Amino acid sequence: MRQQFSVTGPACRPQRSFRPARRGRRRSWWPAGVLATAGVVGVAACAGGGGSSPAAAGDSGSPATVTAPPQLEACVAGSRVPCYGQDPLHKVYDLGALYARGITGAGTTVAVVDDGANPWARRDLAIFDRFFRLPPAQLRVLPWGQGAPGRVDPAAAREDIGDLELAHFIAPRARLLYVQVRPGQGLAPVAEAVAALGAVAARQHISVASLSWGIPETAIARGKLAALRAGLASAARHHVSVIAATGDSGPTWPGLGHRTVAWPASDPLVTAVGGVVVHASASGRRLRPDTVAGGLNATGAGLSALFPAPPTRTVSPAWWVITTG
């Protein structure tokens, strides 16, 4: 039941065509990227598209044989979606100004909780750092769970290293804790992963946890929710900010015929993150406002069936921003 949301290469394309669900009692759906019950923030979701053209890396894995990532122009020409490197994205989010003040994540720890069990994370991070001129990642790998390390699933392993690299890319001096969940207690993988988060939050000093996966709310059996949420409650109790992806299939779910949102993203104990497409030049100049991803994939969105909407008093209507220039 567990699904990882981050996809690389051609898998960025939708796995199924959008089919509108029958109209329910709820007439209004929140705009894409807005979830009913959690703080929602949009960050570049599809800064790269399908049709990746992986640069050749020798089988030896020696960093010396690795070539630099392709240029933005080549990527746009190939996939018609920009895939940015370091300079444009740092500029788009004005991170240089923070780094200049020494705000780099130093002293904090970001936990990436994943089940890809990627044994090559350290090596690939080093290559990533070299080409993006980042300080070496301070990575700690923490295997979690009873399961024996099995055969590595390439897609899951790719997901894990991507999560680590992206967190490091934004907060280059933050320590990284790679919690390698190895299911083995007979629980569903998502239950194991959330339990691992709760246990690690209680025992390790972590500041932030990134969850790039989820299950459809409708897959959660009645009566199981409280037990499932215990790990999130533990994280909140230990002052860990839990960030979860909302998924890439809009209000639906690949393979499901009904609308549903992703849990744990829908949980009020979690800050859900949707995504937008950033339109910028190779030098990081914004060409036009961000758009909600709608072509290759659509950020997860919808009304939670498990949790109430946040109190309306806390949300005031948006201002209309007038461009005067």
Partner 1 sequence: MWVYAQIPDDLQATGWFSVCGTSLAAPMFAGIAALADQQAGHSLGLLNPLLYRLHGAGDGALSQVIADAFGDLPQSQWLIPDPAARREILPGYFRILVEHALATGTVHTTADRSAAALWIPISADGPTQPDDYAARLAEVTGPWASRFTAFDATLERNHPASFAHHHLAILAVHPTRQGQGTGSALLRAYHQVLDQGLNLPAYLEAAHWRTRQLYRRHGYLPSGLFYLPDGGPPFFPMARPAQHRPAPADLPGPDPGTGAVRHRATAAPGT
Torsion 299-178-103-126 (CA) sign: negative
Smallest distance, Å, CB 244 to partner 1? Answer: 6
Strands 3-4 and 213-216: antiparallel
Closer residue to partner 1 (CB): 193 or 221: 193
Cis before 264? omega within 30:
yes
State how far the Cα of 62 lies from the Cα of 239, in Å rounded to an integer. 40
Smallest distance, Å, CB 281 to partner 1? Answer: 16
Closer residue to partner 1 (CB): 64 or 315: 315
Q: Quick one: three-class SS letters along 50-80?
A: CCCCCCCCCCCCCHHHCCCCCCHHHHHHHHC
Smallest distance, Å, CB 24 to partner 1? Answer: 24
Buried/exposed 146-161: b ≥16 CB within 10 Å, e otherwise: ebeeeeeeeebbbbbb
Closer residue to partner 1 (CB): 24 or 239: 239
State how far the Cα of 29 lies from the Cα of 270, in Å rounded to an integer. 20
Closer residue to partner 1 (CB): 223 or 296: 296
Closer residue to partner 1 (CB): 41 or 185: 41
Closer residue to partner 1 (CB): 46 or 181: 46
Smallest distance, Å, CB 152 to partner 1? Answer: 7
Torsion 203-262-294-158 (CA) sign: positive
CA atoms lying within 13 Å on the CB side of residue 236:
10
Closer residue to partner 1 (CB): 221 or 287: 287
Smallest distance, Å, CB 185 to partner 1? Answer: 24
Contact 171, 105 (CB under 8 A): yes
Q: Give the residue from 79, 38, 35 showing the smallest Cα distance to 277.
A: 79
Smallest distance, Å, CB 216 to partner 1? Answer: 14
Smallest distance, Å, CB 39 to partner 1? Answer: 3
